[in-house]
Chain A
């Protein structure tokens, strides 16, 4: 038993080291590459020139803002469509949970080509090819992950019993949602939001198939003219996504600490 624990305590840092190599080696190399530029006599130097080149691109800001806007809409649609559906599933339709769980896996199984065309034709005309169709599709793409985060969050809480308790204590349905359901779901909801946001910012395949030009697709087309600039863009967006996730987890762990500290 002790020998096994020793082996485990050795295995963990090793795994971490290998995993970090796997992540940081390509990222570090890309970062190094992204700072490269060549002097007039062909000598290799490192400077911020590729990043300056990015910012000077006339379409840089507009594509970035479009991606942000779409990601934000995806989060809003998740809040309106997915969060209440999962809460309702736990409150009133537990029987269908396994079925819904299976359905939410479909976006992982169905090829994106089929998904994009199929979903687009299913949209009503007034929605097709508007900028709202992409966020709606991203909500579907993120469903395997967002559903699981929300579902796991709710499994730990007897949502039905506590909402009944709130009703019995004089809370109307609106008050129950506001004072009980929303607060207990907050952390799971925050997780689902960040995931949707991150996925929406980086989605390429579906976007490209539907002929939309967002930040990721623009990066791809730019890479064909300036390879160092394209790598610099990737490093930029990767760092940015990492920072978003980092601050998200930081703020949620801080709010947990605050809950524990009020003892």
Chain B
């Protein structure tokens, strides 16, 4: 296996007055796929470009397999990159595009052609090898770009929103394919995206970024179930904001007292952050504490939208077989199935 660990230590970068990256530390293990997730302008693309050597950093070091490459020119780093916009060379056919990196490495013609065709086969485009970029669809172009990046047996694969320009269907297929190839080749991969579903679906770990720093980096499961901050909680997955009153370290919600995980000890009005699947809806014997507005059947689960007497709209997600008797207008009792909640101090 050729891939190694990638280590970013204390990377900072500012553009004029704007801080793009503020002391970013990130280690990606050999063969690991780490996604950087965040809203646009959070610095994730800058981080990737610094790793690629296409952008310089103001401070900090980039190390590959323990070797400092901070000042190494982009073309000497041996990193494969797939861009958001189509980046195939328009004057070269698909197979010539894939060959390009090997040609730069002075690999002999017959052998590089063979490698390129093998890689095109790997991405399912061996029959289109003689086509030019303008004769390929967007998804096919990104597949060729992926094959081209992998042809040089990169130490690190850098993916800069490679799926953003594609249709939903193609996007899902291609992301599964990227993951399959990445696992089978064992390539250390840094994947930058603003799409949380995409990041969660294929990454070993996801780093959520905001304003140039990492808010939290962990496995998709931990990020979703145990977000470290309200920013992460809001950015990853769907989240209800339920108005409530905090008293000390406790908050009372739907008649139940729950400990506040990120308490500042001050009592007052706050929003409790609860995921739809952590809310239980049951038919009320009496008047209940909310009314059903709509129920949408989604297959295995159903989405129930309720409204409390004080006007708060709450989304719940329940197994369909448990929620079949919840009809619009019905009085229901809501219950939070958590022992600990995150709140947002507004």
Contacts and interface: CB of A to CB of B under 8 A. Distances in A.
A210 interface: no
Identify whether the interface residues of B are mostly helix, strand, loop, or mixed: loop
A168 B74 contact: yes
A197 B135 CA distance: 34
Contact of A157 (B73, B90, B130, B148): B90
4 A-B pairs closest in CB distance: A169-B101, A170-B104, A168-B81, A165-B87
Given A184-B90, A263-B131, A170 B83 contact: no
Chain B interface bracket (under 10, 10 to 19, 20 to 34, 35 or more) = 35 or more
A167 B100 CA distance: 11
A162 B105 contact: no
Contacts of A179: 100, 103
Contacts of A175: 75, 104
A169 B130 contact: no
Nearest to B145: A165
Nearest to B81: A168
B132 interface: yes
A165 B81 CA distance: 7
Given A169-B100, A169-B104, A170-B104, A161 B79 contact: no
Interface string A231-263: 000000000000000000000000000011011
B86 interface: yes
13 contacts: A157-B90, A165-B87, A165-B145, A167-B53, A167-B54, A168-B149, A169-B100, A170-B101, A179-B100, A262-B132, A263-B131, A263-B132, A263-B135
Interface of B: 52-54, 73-81, 83, 85-91, 93, 100-101, 103-105, 130-132, 135, 145, 148-149, 152, 158
Q: Report the contact-size class of chain A (Cβ under 8 Å from the partner).
A: 20 to 34
B171 to A, nearest CB: 20
A259 B145 CA distance: 20
Given A158-B86, A161-B85, A169 B91 contact: no
A15 to B, nearest CB: 31
Interface string A130-171: 000000000000000000000000000110011011111111
A172 B75 contact: yes
B132 A170 contact: no
Contact of A167 (B74, B88, B89, B135): B74
Interface string A179-206: 1100110100000000000000000000
B90 A165 contact: no
Given A161-B83, A168-B74, A183-B91, A259 B152 contact: no
Contacts of B105: 170
A175 B100 CA distance: 11
B101 to A, nearest CB: 4
